[in-house]
Structure formats: structure tokens, C-alpha cells
Structure 1
Amino acid sequence: MPKSSTDLGSKRFVGFYPELFPKLEQLDVAYNRVKRLVLPPSIRHVNAEHCELLSIRLCLPYDQQHKITYLNLNDNPELYCVVNFDVNTIDTLLTSNCANGYPLIKAPDE
């Protein structure tokens, strides 16, 4: 099995909060056993394939649009299909064998 360039060991929850990673634009956590992933609003390129993800969330102010242009979520079949950002504006969205075959959708604004 290929290895990620970022080996997270046995961590199940990984949070890249804006306070700690204000300029993070690229992230590769592929082939880790991450269940929950939290991303900062600065993120543009994410590879999270083969991660056993259950949820992915952006720490995004209510009035701000995300900057993601590339998101690879392939082979995360248990991923919850409702996310807190608009996936329709992502240039490259890879979701093969993801979310039990359901399309990813943005949760309604509250």
C-alpha cells in the first residue's frame, strides 16, 4: 500500500485549525487512519484518499467562501455525505468509493 508523505501514526482526529495553521494551503494525509479531519479556510489542495474518514469539515466563517480547488476523497466509503462547504465550486473533486456512493452535499445554512 502506498504511503502518505505525512505519516500521522495512529491519530484518528486531525485538526488543522486556523489559529495554528493560518497559511496552510496543501495537505496530504492519504493512507492514514484518520476518522475526522478539520481544515483551515486557507486550504486549497487536499489529498485524503484511503483515510477511513467519517467526516471532513472546514473552519470557515459564515460569510467566507472556501478556496479549495482540489479535493481527493477516494476510497473513504464511510464518509458522511453532508459537509459544511459547497463542493460544486471545487475544480477537481475525486469521490470514487466515497460516502457509500452518495454524492457529497452542503448542509443547509442555519
Structure 2
Amino acid sequence: MFAALRHDERGTVTAEFAIVVPAVLAVLGLVVGGISLAAHRITLVSVSAEVARFEARGDADLAEEQLAVLGDRVMVDREDVGALLCVTLRSRPAGGPLAHLAVESRSCAARTDAGATR
């Protein structure tokens, strides 16, 4: 009786499916999360460059408008490095398991009042 059950292949597809589906979903979740992190980083790079340029030339209002686009989840640090103004933006993604990762971008621009030319 047990010898007959050993050669019976009923249910093997279901067992394989039950093992493969969670692995595929985990990989898919990591890929989507990675793309989300990359898109968030690209946004921070772009905004930090614009904010650094605006503030370096004295347009604080335009810089605040750019920062308002990101919302209140972004921390802004400013640093003077010689004739440069450097802006660092730090943020965490909206939610999920990847929310524990911090994304950061730093951009510098020459101050126009320090003798820089356009």
C-alpha cells in the first residue's frame, strides 16, 4: 500500500506552486521597493540641486516652493563651504518595510555674492 503512494504524483503541482509563489512575490516586492527608492533618490537629487542654486543666488522664496513639493518628511541641512552653499536633503520613503532606509542627496552651488559668475 505504501509503495503505491510513493509513486503517486497527485498534489506535486500544488506543493510546488505553494513553494514558488511566496518566493516570486518576495522578489517582486524587492524589485518594486528598489524602483521606489531609486525614484525617491532621483527626486531628492533634483530638488537639492535646485534649492542649492536658488539659495546661492538669493532666491529663498523659490527654494521654499521647491521644498514644499517634497512635503514635511524631508530634513534640510545647509552648509557653507568657502564660496559654495551646500544643501543636504534627507528623507525616508512613504512606508512599508523599506521605510527604515534613509535616502540622502547633497548638492552645492556657488554663491553669486561671493564673486561667482553666471
When normalised by structure 2's length, the TM-score is: 0.22
Q: Higher relative CO (CA 8 A, sep ≥ 6), structure 1 or 2?
A: 2
Structure ranking higher in strand proportion: 1
When normalised by structure 1's length, the TM-score is: 0.23
- Please say which structure displays the higher CA radius of gyration: 2
Structure ranking higher in helix proportion: 2
